[in-house]
Amino acid sequence: MKIKLFTLMLAGGLLSGTPLRAQHLWWDLAGQGEGTCLYGEITVLATQPTTYYCGANWHPGEPAGGYCGIQHNDPQERRTIFSIWDTSPTLHPVVSAAGPQTIHGRFGGEGEGGHTHMLWNWQTNETFQFYVCKQPGAEPGTTAARYSIFDPARHQWLAVATITSPNGGKHSVTTLGGGVNSFLENFSGQDPELPRLALYRLWMGPDARHLRCLTRARGDGKWGELHDTYFLAAGGTNELGTVFTNLASAYGEPVFGHNHRGLDLPPITDRPLSADLINQLDGLTNAATGSAEDQSCVQPNPEVMAAAAGVKLPPRPWHVVNIWWDFNNPVEHFTSLEVPVTIDRDIPGSYNLYVSPCGIAEINKLQFYGGLQSNINGWRNATNHARIFPGHGAIFSRWSSDKKTPVGLENVRVAGDDCLVESAGYEGEFASVRRPFTWTKGTYTWCVEKGATEVMDGRTNTWFTCRVKSADGAVQEIGSLRFEGADFAYWARHSAFVEVYSTQPNPQPGIPQVNITFGHPLINGQPVPLKQVTAYYPHRKGEPAAPDCAWASAEGDNVRVAVGPIFVRDEARRRHTLPLPLPAKAAGHD
């Protein structure tokens, strides 16, 4: 009898037509439209693969709108997800913090933005608890949204990710208001007759101590109230009827709304949060959102991340991103290059990370490069070629003009007894000086400065010295290289890159999670007028190819590179411009 009763209720509560892939609850925010904190609960009572139970979708269709919830992806995988759309086509969010198991990158298809997810084996008939809080970001004009979930096995909250968005003058970026909805979606459209059912409750407010239970909602599709809570459902009439019958003794009978937003159901009961839960959420609110103090660079090894993304790893080294600044003109009478770089967390020596503020530079058709490495290596001197691996350091290298003629070590001067050198041809003929330098998180300026010019055997050459300046004013001299000529012109571009490379002690290093910010290159002490700035993510053999694990974005005059989990990139975004301000003609440049 009860199966027949529920069948009639389902039939009476729905209009005929093709089953919807998604059904929604649209919440009455009860004056909380300016809220910045949201706590929610989802209890899944019946599930099938390819189902998304979205707990909260705020500011849908607006700048930096976002959503979070849980997914049943396939019979073996369940996850929690948290994503935020772009503020504008040129203002992109970045994942400024993430848990060690959190995978993140860009998403597209339904707008574009920043995406995170974490494998999470949530269970039916257990309440999934989540919390989203927005706070001002670490940088002016940004907002950080922090997403946390409760782990019932360990009785503690887990910080899944923080996504920081540029405000761009858009009010929606700073709040969780707008047309807040929850939804249930069969995102594959497969097996539409199989039952899916979940209960939803939300609390919203300006902070954790003033969260207010949202008691009114309207819906579309199959929705209503069950057990004094709103529900969303999908599936065939008979299949859902069986589910509701089996739940009746514990949950009572459902009350259905129409499949549009025109019918009000009575409000559900206002359910205040416990003092203990409020204290827990308040602690999450007061956490250092986006701070590097508690950030780790650890994430799953590349093989695991590649398998999760469904991609194949190319051989190392991996240039995960190349940045190019294109100038209006070359710079005559070159004397110095300075490029600031900020690294937001410590990188241990178990990683092989190369942060190159000078990816390729060229003077009089002679190319040089350098930067910071978490594991430098090289020879002790010209006669002892045993390779040494002293750890963190900085490097300065140059190629010969044709990359075929060897560059001898007579063209290298060390800055101290601890320096290493090398002259080889495995990446084109080059000479290099490297020096141990225990860099950590912080801001450094990689510099090259013109030194003495000399004439020997009728040939004129000039020495250039590399130094690394720390934010506290300390200067570490790395060494000097000799270049052919006396007066030099710097070409009309500059590059930087981030690379994961191999060494003999660590031939298969992991990819650290880290945010790296490159400042505007200064040539002869001045910013150079720009045509454009572009980012490129190498993927073809010989570039060298790299797994997609980085995203570059503009931050004022700077370029920020977020390195994290492996993902599948939209090929239309393989190369893209960065909307940096293009400075007017600078003094001292012809």
What is the CATH T-level fold of the domain 2-12+23-285, as seen in this structure?
A: Jelly Rolls (2.60.120)
Q: Provide the b/e sequence for 400-427 (b: ≥16 CB within 10 Å).
A: beeeeeebebebbbbbeeebbbbbeeee
DSSP string, 229-252: EEEEEES-HHHHHHHHHHHHHHH-
Spatial separation of the C-alpha atoms in residues 464 and 447, rounded to whole Å: 10
- Reduced to 3 states (helix: H, G, I; strand: E, B; else coil), residue 323 is strand
Q: Note the pLDDT of residue 588.
A: 39
In tens, the pLDDT along 375-414 reads: 999 999 999 999 999 999 999 999 999 999 999 999 999 9
In tens, the pLDDT along 140-190 reads: 899 999 999 999 887 788 889 999 999 999 988 999 988 899 999 999 999
Tokens for 514? 């880290």
Q: Note the pLDDT of residue 589.
A: 38
Instruction: Tell whether omega for the bond before 357 is within 30 degrees of 0, i.e. cis.
Output: no
| Whether residue 1 has pLDDT greater than 90 | no
Q: Note the pLDDT of residue 19.
A: 46
Percent of the chain with pLDDT over 70: 92
Spatial separation of the C-alpha atoms in residues 19 and 529, rounded to whole Å: 57
Confidence of residue 579 (pLDDT cuts 50, 70, 90): confident
Q: Note the pLDDT of residue 389.
A: 95
17-26, 266-275, 311-320: which range is least confident on average? 17-26
Q: Note the pLDDT of residue 4.
A: 33
Top pLDDT among 464 and 572 is at 464
Q: Note the pLDDT of residue 8.
A: 33
Domain boundaries, the chain: 2-12+23-285, 319-577
Q: Note the pLDDT of residue 460.
A: 97
In this prediction, residues 524-547 reach a mean pLDDT of: 89
| Whether residue 198 has pLDDT greater than 90 | yes
DSSP string, 536-562: E---STTS----S-EEEEEETTEEEEE
Average pLDDT, the chain: 89
| Whether residue 565 has pLDDT greater than 50 | yes
8-state DSSP, 293: T
Q: Note the pLDDT of residue 12.
A: 36
Confidence of residue 259 (pLDDT cuts 50, 70, 90): low
Ranges assigned E (strand) in 313-441 = 318-327, 336-343, 353-363, 366-378, 388-399, 412-414, 420-424, 430-436
In tens, the pLDDT along 303-330 reads: 988 888 888 999 999 999 999 999 999 9
Percent of the chain with pLDDT over 90: 70
| Whether residue 30 has pLDDT greater than 90 | no
Spatial separation of the C-alpha atoms in residues 485 and 100, rounded to whole Å: 50
* pTM of the entire predicted model: 0.58
239 CA to centre of own chain:
41
